[in-house]
Chains A and B, each alone.
Chain A
Amino acid sequence: MIEFINIGKQFGENKVLTDVSHVMQTGQCNLIIGTSGSGKTVLQKCLVGLFEPDRGEIFYDGVSFTEMNNQSRKELRQQIGMLFQGSALFDSLTVEQNVMFPLEMFSKMTIGERKIRVNEVLARVNLVDANNKFPSELSGGMKKRVGIARAIVLNPKYLFCDEPNSGLDPQTSLVIDKLIYDITKEFNITTVINTHDMNSVMEIGENILYMYQGKKEWTGNNEEIIFSKNERLNEFIFASKFLQDAKDMRMLEAKGIIADDRDMDEILKNGDKLTN
């Protein structure tokens, strides 16, 4: 569990975060959503210590991260995995070397054991036969999967993902979302995801924090978001007519007015009945 209380951060005169508090739950996909410039990336960087917050406190399973000395932070960071927006793979290393890097640095495993572990995590992210490829030879989705494999290779307790679906097609995005969700459940990780991908919100948003102009605007889950009356949230999430209609359908489903296992062919055949 990661708890943060009254986090504030500003750059010069520009206030980016104002008193943001929330709890990221263990074993859940915790999403931070918001428009570009709403402060979600800065918040995530504060949580992992890449930025120092000006105010507030951060607790990792009850232990204050803000008051930790450098050595304790370094030790905690070995329990943190992070997937970056651009994957941040080391260009000069192969896929296998990229994933093996944290093991080489921090584990006492033998070369054989390390290779087994690398193949295990690569298989877990559905990447086989890519061990000897360089990042430049991989597609966007493959890079993300290597990034996930590298992030989970040390069995972290906390997984941070910054825009995991940016630059990916909708189908690959779903695959990545499902992978992150499954890993979260399988290893009981506290996963924190920065996103403005609506598919992610609806598919894996178990604990959502909506940020607006550096402040916490709304919290809930992917079911509650459908019924939210928050205007700013609705404008952000259901920005298009298409998404508004999708929301209406989900509301009708949730109220039991239409079945969620409906046969669309049947409905279209009897469309007149439905309109009457």
Chain B
Amino acid sequence: MEFFTHFGRYLIMLKGMFTKPENTKMYWKEFMRQCVDIGIGSLGIVSIISVFIGAVSAVQTSYQLVSPLIPTETIALIVRDTVILEFSPTLVCIVLAGVIGSKIASELGNMRVSEQIDALEIMGINTKAYLILPKIAAAMLTIPLLVIISMVLGIWGGRLAGVASGIISADAFDRGLLTKFIPYNVTFALIKSYTFAFIITSIPSYYGYYVKGGALEIGRSSTKSVVVSCIMLLFADYVLTQLLLTH
């Protein structure tokens, strides 16, 4: 029963975001601020994670490919596909759910508890539109870009680790990258990243916006928002894979 209450209120919150902005310039300013916060702010962690997941997947793939009949180029092929299909969109978004999600939930929660949201409402501002919509829109613009960067860095990390540890030569890796490349995989990864971007910003926004109580409740709602976001993200991952990758 509680699930339906939350879900209904979540949908009402989303519907409430779509009204005519009081001042387009101010909304644009907020949108750009969120783009910097979410996009540039997460670039460091995304880069580090991506390089390492690429590197680890190259080493682990080589560890499992024990047959001399399988060409070494296959390592590059597997690294490319796992990074594009799963690691970059899913793993990066799970990390971002923690980084961005907790930030959004605690920021909005703090604004709710300290009556800053009420202050905006009293001024005649639609707080859902002004505070939540720019966050979701900014995430949907920047997270797919981060995922693309992550793909490039992940594959580069795999190449670096493969060459450095002598598993595969640079030429063989490059040949492997071009073997049986399916451009649709990138489209699929981008569809996933748009969906995940929406999930990891809208759910924490909901938990932060409707928080009641004090500092303790802000912390709780922040944690809860990350947990729920991650579960929903994995569920969406499964559904999208089932829908878009099975024939």
* Binary CB contact string for chain B from 119 to 140 against chain A (1 if under 8 A, 0 otherwise): 1011111100000000000000
CB distance from A190 to the nearest CB of B (A): 15
Q: Which of B71-79, B110-118, B216-224 contacts A (4 or more CB under 8 A)?
A: B110-118
Check A85 against B22 for contact (C-beta < 8 Å). Answer: no
Check B124 against A86 for contact (C-beta < 8 Å). Answer: no
Chain B residues, Cβ within 8 Å of A242: none
A50: Cβ under 8 A from any B Cβ: yes
Check A75 against B124 for contact (C-beta < 8 Å). Answer: yes
Within 8 A of B (CB), among A84-101: 84-86, 88-91, 101
Check A86 against B114 for contact (C-beta < 8 Å). Answer: yes
Check A105 against B122 for contact (C-beta < 8 Å). Answer: no
Chain B residues, Cβ within 8 Å of A77: 121-124
Chain A residues, Cβ within 8 Å of B125: 105
CA separation between A166 and B201, bound complex, in Å? 36
A49, A73, A84 — most chain B CB neighbours (10 Å): A84
Chain B residues, Cβ within 8 Å of A29: none
Size category of the binding interface on chain A = 20 to 34
Check B124 against A48 for contact (C-beta < 8 Å). Answer: no
Check A78 against B118 for contact (C-beta < 8 Å). Answer: no
Chain A residues, Cβ within 8 Å of B115: 84-86, 88
CA separation between A91 and B122, bound complex, in Å? 18
CA separation between A104 and B118, bound complex, in Å? 18
Interface of A is mostly: mixed
Check A78 against B116 for contact (C-beta < 8 Å). Answer: no
Within 8 A of A (CB), among B62-117: 110, 114-116
Chain A residues, Cβ within 8 Å of B121: 49-50, 77
B23: Cβ under 8 A from any A Cβ: yes
Chain B residues, Cβ within 8 Å of A50: 118, 121-122
B48: Cβ under 8 A from any A Cβ: no
Q: Which positions in A face B, CB cutoff 8 Å?
A: 48-50, 73-78, 80-82, 84-86, 88-91, 101-102, 104-106, 160
Q: Which positions in B face A, CB cutoff 8 Å?
A: 22-23, 25-26, 110, 114-116, 118-119, 121-126
Name 20 extra pairs, CB < 8 A, besides A48-B122, A91-B116, A105-B125: A49-B121, A50-B121, A50-B122, A74-B124, A74-B126, A76-B124, A77-B124, A82-B119, A82-B122, A84-B118, A84-B119, A88-B115, A88-B116, A89-B116, A90-B119, A91-B110, A104-B26, A106-B23, A106-B123, A160-B122
